[in-house]
Structure 1
Amino acid sequence: MNSLDILRREADLLAMSAIGQPPHKGVPACPGLNLGETVRHIGGGYRSVLAWIRLGREPEAGEWQEYPAPQEDPLDFMRSGAEAVIAELEAHDEDEPCATWWPDQQNYGFWRRRLAHETTLHRMDVQGAAGMEVGAVADEVAVDGVDEVLTLWLGHKLDVLGVRGSRDSLVTIQVEDHLWLTRCGPRGSSAWRVVDPEDAHVADAQVSAGPMTMYRWLWGRLPDRLVTTVGDDDAIAQLWALLRLATK
């Protein structure tokens, strides 16, 4: 999976999907979010990443351009942000060190992967708001997206936020022959790949779906009826609620 190619392609698709669309159109999967705010958000996000890289730390408010300038078209703001961050990432090898918000991966590869998935997710949001068919991604990309949301957001971001579950529970996530175990509870949350399928039998519940469906479900973009669930519904509900807090 070439994350930089995915980022470049998805940024182009997002921009093309937004052309000519009224900014007030709501994103069906995210009540309260509209097309214009999605485009603005991703444009500001690109600039935030550039600030992270150039400052060597998390930027503070005001250290990057979060909103378009007066009279600047939000779509132009998004496009110029994409061009700038892609050029920066392209100029460095994946393994070259740089500041990120994940201690386990302090290199340019982190930002390539993170922005590839961020852009893909919001491209789907824009297409949904525009009333278009939401374009699928390759299974390899979706599976990597599942791994990222579980290990990075559930397994790390919640700890940074100091958010805990109310009860200990294990939930297996299955995407074809790929398996993850998630642990949530008062001591924190974590997720890891399962090598031996027998290890998944200790779980209280399991959620199964195809790559694209699971990718979108974990990010809160699809309803429960589109995935297959087995076991303790409360354990799944806790996982779902914690993911919403981690990824909001």
Structure 2
Amino acid sequence: MFDHTRVIRTETERFAEAILAADPTATVPSCPAWTTADLLWHLTEVHGFWARVLASGAQSDQDAEAIQEEKPERPDDPVAGVALLNTETDALLAQLDKRVDEQPAWTWFTTDQTVGFTRRMQVHEAVMHRIDAELVAGRTPTPIDPEVAADGVLHAVDVMFAWWGTQPGFEFVPSDHVVALTPSDAEPTVLVRPGRWRGVGQSGKSYDEPGMLRITDLPPTAGFAGTSEELDRWLWGRGPEPEADGDQAALDAVRSLQAVGIQ
């Protein structure tokens, strides 16, 4: 297993270097709602928020909301912004290093309220936003370590595209399709069943959203194949679609979910 702290540190350093090489007002190609300056502030906010969640011992949504109000002022200057990012990253890694994965801690993913969830999530947050920063700087993105990328595929499937299932009253309605995500440089092949998440939110609004769940016991009718990095970047909306083969309806069911995007 890779060293999560090392990956977060290295990816954040690459992120900061690319940010300083980019126009602060430029639009981020992979996140067009953001400028370079917005991207820098986003990762700074994320690292600072989770550092304070862990340091405070937050256990509830109310705790997390209070912490969100404690964030520092957003710097106007990119150099000052990167300095604050470094401070917040140091704080996050210090908190992670003193805790084990099994320790309880608040997260937005209600079925996994542990430090381990935050440790894993922040690896992929840092990786994907580093790619964003390199793209807005006009650089070819640095390759993702295959082990990290393979875990990113699993995290996308099990967390980023499955979080609707953590909401009370939501039901997954599976399609008849099974799709294989096959990395050429890692194990295992990931089998997913696309479908729809349906339910009523706390506001009373009805939802019918594309989704998928990982499965183990059905033969695939279609698949996407490539390196673990190609699959990882595509699922997270940071790269082109890998090679696709098989039933078009099955492929389109996964494509419709991927198109929703992950920020």
Q: Displacement of 1:87 after TM fit? A: 1.3
Tell me how large the CA RMSD over aligned residues is.
Answer: 2.7
Match of 2:5, SS state, is: helix
Q: Residue 86 of structure 1 corresponds to which residue in structure 2?
A: 93
Counterparts in 2 of 1:66 and 1:223: CA distance versus 1, 3 Å: farther
Normalised by the length of structure 1, the TM-score is 0.84
Superposed CA offset, 1:8-67 (max 9, x none):
111111112212421122223333333221111111111222343322223227534276
Alpha-carbon distance, 1:230 to partner: 0.8
2:60 corresponds in structure 1 to: 57
Matched, 1:178 2:181: no
Closer, same or farther: CA 67–113 of 1 in aligned 2, 3 Å: farther
| Runs of 5+ consecutive residues of structure 2 not aligned to the other structure | 199-210
Give the structure 2 partner of residue 239 of structure 1. Answer: 254
The structure with more strand, counted as a fraction of residues: 2
Q: In structure 1, what is the equivalent of residue 205 of structure 2?
A: none
Gaps of 5+ in 1: none
Matches within 5 A, 1:1-248: 1-53=2-54, 54=56, 55-58=58-61, 59-60=64-65, 62-65=68-71, 68=74, 73-155=80-162, 157-160=163-166, 167-176=175-184, 177-186=187-196, 189-192=211-214, 194=216, 199=217, 202-224=219-241, 227-245=242-260, 247-248=262-263
Give 1:218 deviation, angstroms: 0.5
* Secondary structure, counterpart of 1:60 in structure 2: helix
Indicate if the aligned counterparts of 2:164 and 2:197 stay in contact, CA closer than 8 A: no
Counterpart contact for 1:153–1:243, Cα < 8 Å: no
Aligned 8 A contact 1:24 1:34 in 2: yes
Taking a change above 3 Å as real, the CA distance of residues 71 and 137 of structure 1, as seen in their structure-2 partners, is: closer
Deviation sequence 1:109-149 (CA, Å, 0-9, x none):
22111101100110011011101221012211110111111
Number of positions where the alignment pairs a residue of Structure 1 with one of Structure 2: 240
- Describe the superposition over 1:129-177 as per-residue Cα deviations: whole angstroms up to 9, x where unpaired: 101221012211110111111111122x133476977954322111124
What amino acid sits opposite 1:60 in the alignment? Answer: E
